[in-house]
Amino acid sequence: MSQDTWPLPDKPGKNARVVVASQGVRIWTTECVIESFGDPIRLTCTDETTLQNLEHQQRIAFTILNGAKTVQGSGIARVSSTGDAILVEPYRLSSGKEIFELRLKGWTKLADAAPPDISRYAFWYQAFRLVTIPLSALPVLVAGGAAFAEGNFHPWLLLLSLIGAVAAHAGANATADYFDFKKGVDSSKALSSHLGALARERVEPERILLAAMVCFFVTAFIGLVLVQIAGWELLLFGVAGLVGAFTYTGRPFSYKYRALGELMLGILVGPVIVMGAWFVQTGDWDWAVFLISAALGMLISSISLVNNLRDMPDDKAAGIKTLPMALGVSNTKRLYYILTWGPYFVAGIAILLQPSFWPLVLILVSVPLALRAYKALHSTKDDIDEIRLKSQTNPYPLNSIRLHVRFGTLAVAGLIIAGGIRLIWG
């Protein structure tokens, strides 16, 4: 950007200084010396307490005092490998009425930086990432379809299960947004097509966390009602779902940051939801239904896996560990292929166990989407830079989301047809 619009000079003035602030257990501030305005901004700070604080809270706000000009900003701060400097990667800068934000394609001057209207549906649609809700709704519908196929279907119990699962999913999304923001994982330049509501800092983080708690309360209340109907065993599914949804990013487990996110999501949004909703309908266990739930769980895991593969550099910079970081690019791609094609094999075993489920063969209609998802990643080299570059025109997670939705919808349709055949032919 040209000097007349960009708020930072080429280099700091002789007496330039910066005040850094952040909030961990408490709000803290410190003053540092600016070494350079490069990428990243390099600061000198000898305060040991500040360096220790940055180990736990990397997202900071700062005010640069450079002669008569004051620039405020936000960024992600890391302690240098030598331990004698703070490296700040800014993603928002403002000077007077001018505000600049770092996007995927570079720095952009914002035409409108007004805070969002939190009373509007559009804001909460983004905050809860409601576009992803089918990922939790379909498992409940699959359970309902299986109960209908078995002749033990209760529509109003399905509705309650659906509301509970969707509320838990929305709460998990909002919780992940809150903790990703606090940990410095999410930023305005992320490749993700579903950027969190907090990444652009238009609303207080605590408001999003409160909204998540409301969602979890709705799920807990519905769960207690269903326990009275289905029995105490349902608590096992309910507690696992709620605890898992919160601790995906929340403490003490934060398993998203411990290379366990793919596994836990596959379990929670597969077997836990499906078998919980199935138990509400029938009060029983069924291995064929469990295998169908495992197939859905594999597809959910594939979404998370390929998303984390694409985001490996960002996650590494944020100091978190994901499964692709542990496996490496080539092994992650192999696992992705297994998770993409494996559900068809698992569903086939379910049909063998329960022949009346034979209309599930409808899922084969989704094979072209599986092939597209496979080809999109297989066409890349085992090079993370190439994978990230191609993801801008061929979003791998979106391919897997489409496959999950198609596979799940066809599974529901197949099970409903199986139920219709039972009604007609006995």
Task: Please indicate whether residue 30 or residue 291 has the higher confidence score (pLDDT).
Answer: 291
Query: Does the pLDDT value for residue 15 go beyond 80?
Result: no
Both tokens assigned to 6: 């960009």
Tokens of 82: 């030598």
Q: Look at residue 193 in the predicted model and tell me its pLDDT.
A: 46
Could you give all domains of the chain from N- to C-terminal order, each with its CATH number? 17-109 (2.30.110.10), 121-425 (1.10.600)
In this predicted structure, the answer to whether residue 1 has a pLDDT above a threshold of 50 is no
Per-residue confidence band for 4, with pLDDT thresholds at 50, 70 and 90: very low
- pLDDT range class, residue 24, cuts 50, 70, 90: low
What DSSP string runs through 373-392?
A: HHHHHHTS-S-HHHHHHHHT
Average pLDDT over residues 5-12: 65
Rounded mean pLDDT of 304-316? 87
Contact in structure between 401 and 135 (CB atoms under 8 Å): yes
Whether residue 422 has pLDDT greater than 80: yes
Q: Examine the pLDDT at 416 and tell me if it is beyond 60.
A: yes
Q: Where residue 111 falls among pLDDT bands split at 50, 70, 90?
A: low
Residue found under tokens 């501030």:
29
Task: Identify which of 13-22, 92-101, 135-144, 235-244 has the greatest average pLDDT.
Answer: 135-144
The answer, as to whether pTM is greater than 0.85, is no
The pLDDT score that the predictor gives to residue 6 is 57
Q: Which of these, 273, 289, 301, 102, lies nearest to 195 by C-alpha position?
A: 102
pLDDT for 370: 97
Nearest to 322 by CA among 262, 374, 367: 262
Tell me how far apart the alpha carbons of residues 277 and 238 are, in angstroms, rounded to a whole number. 10
Q: What is the pLDDT of residues 322-374, one digit of tens each?
A: 899 999 999 999 999 999 999 999 999 999 999 999 999 999 999 999 999 99
Q: Which residue has the higher pLDDT, 25 or 252?
A: 252
pLDDT of 194 strictly over 80: no
The C-alpha atoms of residue 183 and residue 352 are separated, in whole angstroms, by 47
With H, G, I as helix, E, B as strand and everything else as coil, classify residue 175.
helix
Q: Give the per-residue pLDDT at 406.
A: 96
Instruction: Give me the residues paired with residue 89 across strands.
Output: 76
Instruction: Give start and end residues of each alpha helix (H) in 184-272.
Output: 205-230, 234-247, 261-267
Residues with Cβ within 8 Å of 267's Cβ and at least 6 positions away in sequence, in order, are 244, 297
CA gyration radius, the chain: 24
The average confidence (pLDDT) of the chain is 84
For residue 15, what is the enclosing H or E element? none
Q: Is the pLDDT of residue 191 over 60?
A: no
Cβ(127)–Cβ(208) under 8 Å?
A: yes
**Torsion angle (degrees, nearest 10) of CA 106, 110, 111, 113:** 150
Number of other CB atoms surrounding residue 51 within 10 Å: 18
- Rounded to the nearest 10°, the torsion over CA 297, 301, 302, 306 is 170
pLDDT for residue 187 is more than 60 = no
Distances (CA, A) of 32 to 10, 83, 90, 120: 19, 14, 16, 41
Note the pLDDT of residue 165.
Answer: 92
Give the Cα separation of 321 and 302 in Å (integer).
17
Q: Residue 112 in 3-state DSSP?
A: coil
Among 42-56, 66-80, 346-360, 381-395, the range with the most confident prediction by mean pLDDT is 346-360
Give the Cα separation of 196 and 192 in Å (integer).
9
